[in-house]
């Protein structure tokens, strides 16, 4: 008795440990894990950070540009040379009357003077742009627009990751329901095989009936193995998607439940269009083309700026000197106007292309919304039909079981009725999963 109690406690402890080790996930928890760990979601956030750095870089163009430089040199000989010829140099004796007729002279030998053989030069320039054809202002607007686009793309990536999470989640749930269905079917066949085999031993049925049941049971066991392998691959893909290690004991808590009618989810497609992230991106693409046109126009407008410059100089053995100056600059790209006119026409064409794409893609988004609504309503109709088919198959099986027990039908009819029930149950599972996924897609394409 003590030994039996020991084994009972041991088995209970093992089962409790396995149950405790199982990872249970709800759909919401799976979504949170996907947003935290999925590589696409991480990269989209990094894209936002990168665009913000570009925006900060563009803002610095409002401030003065500062440059500094200098050089030191020592040449083999002076860069400038001054030669003086030798000779007698009149000497002034103090009497003005003798200036024209000097009586005293000093001898001056010939000589060569070398200048700028070595030196040091340094400078600092500060230039503040006053007018740059609007390129600084429009460049900052373009950088801000880039940040907005990155944020919209991050939202699109987020929606994509969440949609894929739901699809994989419900796929696994549907496979689990199919496992339950096929296990019930297996038990029915095993029970039937026992009954048929017993009847064969009693001489009530032929050997062929036993073989039919065994063949059907072997087929079910093969399908069960394929189903288990398919679920394993689905769980592995799901774990990789949400960024957790593969766990064969993972349990998905949510069930396939149809809780609302499609009509309760309906949204006007024109209102839904304006909520779409894709629609906002199309608007931004048109705005970006307009800003790029303004940037190109700014290249052919006058540029003006003011500046301050300071310089330090020292040559040869002379004294060092410092200089400072204030200056203004104006630049007019006259020679570029001819070619620039064609580039501006090109920009105008690209703006028109962007507007055409905006109109065309907006219409495609409306078609997508309409198709998604039709897919949702069709999925609900399929669910209702599958539900009805399952109920009919259950009633059909009940009738065949009673008929078989009363000797009014054969094993083949009973096997067919059991197979039909298993098929309709799987179809109902697929229909429920399909409706839930179509609902998710419809909510997404309507901006919800």
Q: Which residues contact 34 (CB under 8 A, 6 or more apart)?
A: 41, 161, 162, 164, 165, 241, 242, 243
Inform me whether the pLDDT recorded for 17 exceeds 70: no
Q: What is the pLDDT of residues 273-284, one digit of tens each?
A: 999 999 999 999
Say what the pLDDT of residue 332 is: 84
So what's the pLDDT on residue 15? 47
Higher pLDDT, 184 or 15: 184
The SS3 of residue 276 is: coil
Mention every residue, 6+ apart, whose C-beta is less than 8 A from residue 258.
Answer: 380, 383, 432, 435, 436
Compute the half-sphere exposure of residue 272: CA atoms within 13 Å on the CB side of its CA.
Answer: 21
Residue 131 confidence (pLDDT): 83
**How many angstroms from the chain centroid is the CA of residue 396?**
52
Domains of the chain: 22-68+122-356 (1.20.1600.10)
Q: Answer with the residue of higher pLDDT: 305 or 259.
A: 305
* pLDDT of 132 over the 90 cut: no
Which of these, 261, 235, 234, 256, lies nearest to 246 by C-alpha position? 235
Q: Is residue 250 a contact partner of residue 30, using CB atoms and an 8 Å limit?
A: no
The pLDDT of residue 212 is above 70: yes
Name 246's Cβ contacts closer than 8 Å, sequence gap at least 6.
235, 236, 239, 240
Does position 6 have pLDDT exceeding 50, yes or no? no
Backbone angles phi, psi at 328, to 5 degrees: -130, 150
Structural tokens at position 311: 């310089």
How confident is the model over 368-379, as a mean pLDDT? 96
- Whose tokens are 């949170």? That residue is 32
Q: Give tens-digit pLDDT for 316-331.
A: 877 888 988 898 888 8
Q: What are the backbone angles phi and psi of residue 255, rounded to the nearest 5°? A: -110, 160
Nearest residue to 298 (alpha-carbon basis) of 329, 342, 333: 333
pLDDT of residue 357: 94
Contact in structure between 404 and 411 (CB atoms under 8 Å): yes
Looking at residue 99, what is its pLDDT? 60
Ranking 72-76, 126-130, 212-216 by mean pLDDT, the lowest is 72-76
Distance CA 435, CA 144 (A): 40
Q: Are 340 and 300 in contact (CB under 8 A)?
A: yes
Q: Is the pLDDT of residue 3 over 90?
A: no
Quick one: what percent of the chain has pLDDT higher than 70? 87
User: Taking all residues of the chain, what is their mean pLDDT, rounded to a whole number?
Assistant: 86
Whether 95 shows a pLDDT value over 80: the answer reads no
Higher-pLDDT residue of 171 and 336 is: 171
24-28, 30-34, 209-213, 316-320: lowest mean pLDDT where? Answer: 316-320
Contact call for residues 71 and 277 (beta carbons, < 8 A): no
pLDDT tens-digit series, residues 133-145:
888 888 899 999 9
Written as six digits, the tokens of 8 are 């009972």
Using CA atoms, how far apart are residues 343 and 340, in angstroms rounded to an integer?
A: 5
Distance CA(373)–CA(442), nearest Å, equals 6
- Mean of the pLDDT values across residues 94-98? 65
Task: Find the radius of gyration of the CA atoms of the chain.
Answer: 45
Q: Which residue, 125, 145, 128, is CA-closest to 54? A: 145
The C-alpha atoms of residue 251 and residue 179 are separated, in whole angstroms, by 14
Dig out the tokens for 308 from the structure: 């301050």
Asked whether residue 390 carries a pLDDT value surpassing 80, the answer given is: yes
Torsion from C-alpha of 354, 359, 363, 369, nearest 10 degrees: 70
What is the pLDDT averaged over residues 100-128? 75
- Angle of helix 135-201 relative to helix 411-445, nearest 10 degrees? 170
Token pair for residue 295? 């940037």
**Parallel/antiparallel/unpaired status of strands 105-108 and 87-90:** antiparallel
> Which range is least confidently modeled, 153-157, 165-169, 298-302, 303-307?
298-302
Strands (E), 293-435: 303-315, 321-331
According to the model, what pLDDT value does residue 201 have? 85
**Spatial CB neighbours of 238, under 8 Å, sequence gap ≥ 6:** 30, 168, 169, 172, 250
């Amino acid at each position: 008795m003590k030994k039996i109690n020991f084994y009972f406690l041991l088995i209970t402890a093992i089962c409790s440990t396995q149950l405790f080790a199982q990872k249970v996930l709800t759909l919401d928890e799976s979504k949170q894990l996907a947003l935290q760990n999925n590589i696409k979601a991480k990269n989209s956030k990094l894209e936002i950070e990168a665009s913000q750095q570009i925006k900060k870089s563009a803002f610095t163009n409002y401030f003065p540009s500062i440059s500094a430089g200098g050089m030191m040199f020592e040449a083999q000989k002076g860069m400038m040379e001054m030669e003086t010829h030798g000779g007698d140099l009149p000497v002034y004796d103090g009497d003005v009357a003798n200036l024209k007729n000097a009586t005293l002279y000093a001898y001056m030998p010939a000589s060569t003077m070398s200048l700028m053989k070595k030196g040091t030069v340094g400078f600092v320039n500060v230039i503040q742009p006053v007018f740059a054809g609007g390129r600084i202002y429009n460049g900052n607007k373009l950088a801000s627009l880039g940040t907005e686009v990155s944020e919209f793309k991050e939202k699109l990536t987020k929606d994509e990751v969440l949609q894929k999470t739901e699809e994989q989640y419900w796929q696994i749930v549907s496979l689990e329901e199919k496992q339950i269905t096929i296990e019930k079917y297996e038990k029915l066949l095993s029970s039937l095989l026992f009954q048929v085999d017993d009847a064969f031993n009693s001489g009530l049925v032929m050997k062929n009936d036993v073989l039919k049941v065994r063949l059907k049971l072997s087929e079910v066991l093969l399908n069960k193995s394929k189903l288990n392998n398919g679920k394993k691959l689905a769980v592995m893909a799901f774990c990789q998607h949400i960024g957790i290690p593969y766990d064969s004991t993972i349990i998905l808590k949510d069930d396939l439940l149809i809780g609302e009618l499609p009509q309760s989810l309906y949204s006007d497609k024109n209102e839904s269009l304006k909520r779409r992230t894709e629609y906002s991106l199309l608007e931004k693409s048109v705005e970006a083309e307009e800003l790029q046109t303004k940037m190109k126009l700014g290249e052919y407008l006058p540029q003006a700026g003011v500046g301050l410059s300071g310089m330090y100089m020292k040559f040869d053995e002379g004294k060092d000197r410092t200089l400072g100056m204030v200056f203004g600059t104006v630049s007019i790209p006259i020679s570029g106007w001819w070619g620039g006119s064609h580039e501006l026409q090109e920009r105008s064409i690209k703006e028109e292309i962007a507007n055409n794409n905006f109109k065309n893609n907006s219409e495609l988004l409306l078609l997508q919304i309409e198709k998604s609504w039709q897919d949702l309503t069709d999925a609900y109709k399929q669910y209702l039909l599958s539900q009805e088919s399952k109920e009919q198959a259950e009633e059909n099986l009940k009738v065949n079981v009673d008929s078989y027990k009363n000797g009014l039908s054969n094993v083949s009819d009973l096997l067919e009725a059991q197979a039909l029930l298993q098929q309709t149950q799987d179809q109902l599972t697929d229909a429920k999963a399909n409706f839930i996924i179509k609902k998710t897609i419809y909510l997404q394409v309507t901006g919800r």
